[in-house]
Amino acid sequence: MNCIEEKKKGAFFVDGPGGTGKSFLYRALLATVRSRGCIALATATSGIVASILPGGRTTHSRFKILIDLSDLKFCSISKQSSLGSLIRESKLIVWDEAPMAKKDTIEALNLALKDLCGCDDLFGGKVVVFGGEFRQVLLVLRRASRDETIGACLSSSYIWSLLTKLQLVENMRARLDPLFTEMLLRVGNGQERTYDEDLIKIPPSIAISEPLSEASLDELIRIIYPDLAYLTETELSVNRVTMKNTMQIARIDDNVRGWISLIQVVDQGPIFVSQRDPSISYRRFTFVDSEGTQVVALACNNNIRESSPILQLYKRYYVSGAAVKKEGPKCMIGSYRFSWTITNHTFIQPYVQGVVVHAFGLKNIGIDMVNRDIVLVNQEMVQMILTLWNTFGEDEGSQLAQTINAGNVVVSMRVKVTSFHGLSLSTRAASSILINPPTPATANLKQWWVILD
């Protein structure tokens, strides 16, 4: 940040094992720069990682890096183009999972930035932050030897010695389990005892003896979520059904019924009119799940008007009831062979989770109606106004107001989306408000807030 504030050049590499907070650091840097009205570009080598970063794109897409750089290290960016202007105006460039990229692509970016900025300094004098871990997945070269793979990595580039190295060492994700953290480091460093040359033994304390049995699932839930003991058997049954029905995109085909998928919108196309039938208009969305599987979702005619105000770029939603259709190779994205069609029976529910940072007083609205506004913030530093009506405002709202300094995490389901430009949400009769639910996502958000606070 000092380099950005003082308008100095700087190129950094953030190293650290998984769980040490690299993604948190990137989000904090991006949010800080953008909150000041400046441009920060978030990129990653793979599409999965890019979808996690706020406003993230793959580096090949963002910087027009050629797929084949064997003959010429070149980025297809014109100085007069809007992309060229965007890059020149940017104050920060983040490239996550850089160890997965060929050194040629990073060297090509260096040459492109020098040309665009008219500066011979490293990366054209821009502040660039690379990140990743060489213990994890390196780049993949066809039929390459170990030496050839290492020789194509960033660490073998002339740029490597010019980067300022920053090391994250404390595992924030599993800091309460030092034995597990130490085992992960031993595996990453190649120090864990192996069997049959490349197999390691998982300690019994973190393994399930019969992973496919119902009893093992119940045991896992009791161990990971001990606070669920206060729920009734009916509520536990509902949670089990929800867990089983929430599916990754790759498992959903035209024979699956009653599925629910948690997705993120990564692309939103314009509205087109069919050339074959001018009475039909359609809009194309692209969804991605936590595994990185993408699917095209089409909305037609009236469903465009219903879904477009809800589905916003880079937001996450629960989706169910879409029509699943098998597609040919030309219409496929990746290996998933199906497309979805948004119909009148499609359920789309925003996934809203945030830390309560402020609670307003209870207000009387007409006869026998009250509401209370609370302000939430998520890990992308986006503020949301959630209006709690009637009993929600009196019960959950009062509880949150009385414990405002506790860093409460709120998860809301089936809320009404009144404006996504300001992320304004409000409860209705069928809404569900959960305060500090015992889930990993809640624990991670609480931990993030404690560190930030």
> What pTM did the predictor assign?
0.50
Question: Which residues are registered as beta bridge partners of 435?
Answer: 410
The mean pLDDT of 127-156, rounded to a whole number, is 88
The 10 Å CB-count burial string (b at 16+, else e) for 288-310 is: bbeebbbbbbbbeeebeebbeee
Residue-range domain boundaries for the chain: 2-167, 211-244, 246-350, 352-452
Cα(296)–Cα(370) distance, integer angstroms: 42
Residue 278, H or E segment: none
Residue 258, phi-psi category: left (phi > 0), alpha (psi -120 to 50), beta (remainder): left
Instruction: Please say if the pLDDT value at position 6 is more than 50.
Output: yes
Check for a shared fold between 2-167 and 352-452: no
Confidence of residue 252 (pLDDT cuts 50, 70, 90): very high
Per the model's pLDDT, the better-predicted residue between 177 and 54 turns out to be 54
Confidence of residue 240 (pLDDT cuts 50, 70, 90): very low
Cα(437)–Cα(235) distance, integer angstroms: 13
Query: Which CATH number is associated with domain 2-167?
Result: 3.40.50.300
Confidence of residue 76 (pLDDT cuts 50, 70, 90): confident
**Which residues are within 8 A (CB) of 53 and not within 5 positions of it... i.e. 6 or more apart?**
23, 26, 27, 30, 42, 43, 44, 94, 96
Question: Which residues are registered as beta bridge partners of 382?
Answer: none
* Cβ atoms within 10 Å of 401's Cβ, excluding its own: 17
The pLDDT tens digits of the residues spanning 10-19 come to: 999 999 888 7
Largest pairwise CA distance in the chain: 76
Contact assessment for residue 13 and residue 164, using Cβ atoms and an 8 Å cutoff: yes
Confidence of residue 212 (pLDDT cuts 50, 70, 90): low
Cα(220)–Cα(207) distance, integer angstroms: 10
Confidence of residue 408 (pLDDT cuts 50, 70, 90): very high
Give pLDDT, residue 217. 67
**Overall fold of domain 352-452:** OB fold (Dihydrolipoamide Acetyltransferase, E2P) (2.40.50)
The 10 Å CB-count burial string (b at 16+, else e) for 215-224 is: eebeeebeee
* 302 residue type, one letter: N
Instruction: Please say if the pLDDT value at position 53 is more than 80.
Output: yes
The mean pLDDT of 138-148, rounded to a whole number, is 86
Instruction: Please say if the pLDDT value at position 392 is more than 80.
Output: yes
Give pLDDT, residue 355. 92
Percent of the chain past pLDDT 70, that is, above it, reads: 87
What are the φ and ψ backbone dihedral angles of 409, each rounded to 5 degrees?
-100, 130
The pLDDT tens digits of the residues spanning 173-203 come to: 766 677 777 888 888 778 888 887 778 888 7
Q: So what CATH class is 246-350?
A: mainly beta
* 380 residue type, one letter: E
For the ranges 102-106, 208-212, 225-229, 418-422, the one whose mean pLDDT is highest:
102-106
Contact assessment for residue 314 and residue 339, using Cβ atoms and an 8 Å cutoff: no
By mean pLDDT, which of 40-44, 154-158, 185-189, 247-251 is the weakest?
185-189
The mean pLDDT of 93-105, rounded to a whole number, is 92
- CA-CA-CA-CA torsion for 344, 350, 351, 356, nearest 10 degrees? -150
Give pLDDT, residue 71. 62
DSSP single-letter state for residue 438: S
Instruction: Please say if the pLDDT value at position 231 is more than 50.
Output: no
By mean pLDDT, which of 64-78, 193-207, 418-432 is the weakest?
418-432
Structure tokens given for 101: 């990229």
Average of per-residue pLDDT values in the chain: 83
Rounded to 5°, the CA angle 61-64-65 comes to 100
12: three-class secondary structure by DSSP:
strand
The pLDDT tens digits of the residues spanning 287-317 come to: 998 788 999 999 999 889 888 888 888 788 8
Per the model's pLDDT, the better-predicted residue between 238 and 173 turns out to be 173
DSSP single-letter state for residue 202: P
The pLDDT tens digits of the residues spanning 258-292 come to: 788 888 898 999 999 988 888 889 999 999 987 88
The pLDDT tens digits of the residues spanning 433-444 come to: 888 887 777 888
Give pLDDT, residue 66. 82
* 305 residue type, one letter: R
